Structure 1
Amino acid sequence: MFGDLSGMMDKLKQAQQKVEETKLRLNTVLIDEEVSEKLKITITANREIKSIHIDPSLLEDAEELEDYLVVAMNNAIQKASAINDQEMAAAAKDGMPNIPGMDLFS
């Protein structure tokens, strides 16, 4: 009914390995988000913050700094999530065995 079960298990292991490799690779994909040339955030595609650069002029106005941080972080996370989702879906789809009726990634 399902064909070669051992072959499918091997394919699933390969898919899992490919997903893990993709996770590691996404740690090296950096996304920079800049707000008004006064604040720059760099995060990985796995949504880990790597650096934050704050222009000294922002240190005088906490409210403005907070607003810029929220905007920059939300934008960076949104971009990183889109890249992460796309790459992880591709990694999972490439490694999945062909099981009739189980087209999960269309």
Structure 2
Amino acid sequence: MFGDIMGMMGKLKETQQKVEATKKRLDTVLVDEKSSDGLLEVTLTANRTIRSITIDDSLLTDKEQLEDYLVLVLNKAIEKATTINEAELGAVAKEGMPNIPGLDMFK
């Protein structure tokens, strides 16, 4: 019995290390998103950290328009980054789940 528990604990610790390594790797995965007319471009990491924002000079004359562009493009980029993040971390977590009867709903 204790061997099973120790084995599960070891597997959980290994999975936790893999999750941390995956999070670090996701800092290097970049997600680019542009407005439909190309006047605004943002780059985020898959961990949803903004790396860059490029704004065309024509948007600098209309504050409200620029704000709208930022909201739309950032939300699209965050959605893409979240999808990548959840898929990557979910795969690692699923792989590391111990085989516990009754908890196969996670597999």
TM-score, normalising length: structure 2: 0.93
Q: In angstroms, what is the RMSD of aligned CA positions? A: 1.4
Give the equivalent residue in structure 1 for 2:61: 60
**Higher share of residues assigned helix:** 2
How far, CA to CA, are the matches of 2:93 and 2:6 in structure 1? 19
User: 1:32, 1:42 within 8 Å by CA — same for their partners in 2?
Assistant: yes
For residue 106 of structure 2, give the secondary structure of its aligned residue in structure 1.
Answer: coil
Identical positions, percent? 62
Give the equivalent residue in structure 2 for 1:69: 70
Is 1:26 the counterpart of 2:31? The answer is no
User: 1:42, 1:49 within 8 Å by CA — same for their partners in 2?
Assistant: yes
Instruction: Give how far 1:2 is off.
Output: 8.1
How far, CA to CA, are the matches of 1:62 and 1:34 in structure 2? 18
Gaps of 5+ in 1: none
Give the equivalent residue in structure 2 for 1:100: 101
Question: Are residues 104 and 46 of structure 1, via their aligned partners in 2, closer, same or farther at CA, if it must alter by over 3 Å?
Answer: farther
How far, CA to CA, are the matches of 1:22 and 1:48 in structure 2? 15
Instruction: Give how far 1:105 is off.
Output: 2.1
How far, CA to CA, are the matches of 1:91 and 1:19 in structure 2? 6
Residue-by-residue CA offset, 1:4-42 (whole Å, 9 max, x unaligned):
111111000001001101100110110000002100000
Number of equivalent positions: 106
How far, CA to CA, are the matches of 1:84 and 1:104 in structure 2? 21
Give the equivalent residue in structure 2 for 1:9: 9
Gaps of 5+ in 2: none
For residue 9 of structure 2, give the secondary structure of its aligned residue in structure 1.
Answer: helix
How far, CA to CA, are the matches of 2:59 and 2:53 in structure 1? 13
